Amino acid sequence: MLYTQAGIPAQSRNGVNRNFAKACFPAITLHNARFLNMYTGRDMINDVITPKFDEDGRPLRRIRSFVRRQGRLTKGQEVALASYWSVLGVEYQSAPLDLVTLFGRDMPVVLEIGFGMGASLVTMASLNPQKNFLGIEVHAPGVGACLSTANEVGVENLRVMRHDALEVLENMIPDNTLSMVQLFFPDPWHKARHNKRRIVQVPFVELVQRKLKPGGVFHMATDWEAYAEHMLTVMNSVDGYKNLSPGVDYVARPASRPVTKFEQRGQRLGHGVWDLMFERVK
Ligand X SMILES: C[S@@+](CC[C@H](N)C(=O)[O-])C[C@H]1O[C@@H](n2cnc3c(N)ncnc32)[C@H](O)[C@@H]1O
Catalytic machinery residues: 187
The residue among 22 and 64 lying less far from ligand X, judged by its C-beta, is 64
**Least distance from ligand X to the Cβ atom of residue 90, Å:** 13
**Least distance from ligand X to the Cβ atom of residue 167, Å:** 8
**Least distance from ligand X to the Cβ atom of residue 278, Å:** 18
**Least distance from ligand X to the Cβ atom of residue 194, Å:** 13
CA-wise closest residue to 130 among 115, 149, 111, 110: 110
d(CA 158, CA 134): 6
d(CA 160, CA 113): 10
d(CA 8, CA 256): 34
* Residues whose CB falls within 8 Å of the CB of residue 168, separated by 6 or more in sequence, listed in order: 92, 136, 161
CA-wise closest residue to 185 among 119, 241, 279: 119
Q: Is 28 helix (H, G, I), strand (E, B) or coil?
A: coil
CB atoms under 10 Å from CB of 171, counted, come to 15
List, in sequence order, every residue forming a beta bridge with 181; answer none if it has no partner. 111, 218
The residue among 2 and 45 lying less far from ligand X, judged by its C-beta, is 45
Instruction: Name the maximum alpha-carbon separation found in the chain.
Output: 59
- Beta strands 158-161 and 132-136 are parallel
**Least distance from ligand X to the Cβ atom of residue 69, Å:** 8
Q: List residues near ligand X by CB under 6 A.
A: 65-66, 113-116, 136-139, 142, 164-166, 184-187, 199, 260-263
DSSP H or E segment with residue 263: helix 261-268
CA-wise closest residue to 178 among 122, 99, 115: 99
CA 108 centroid distance within chain: 17
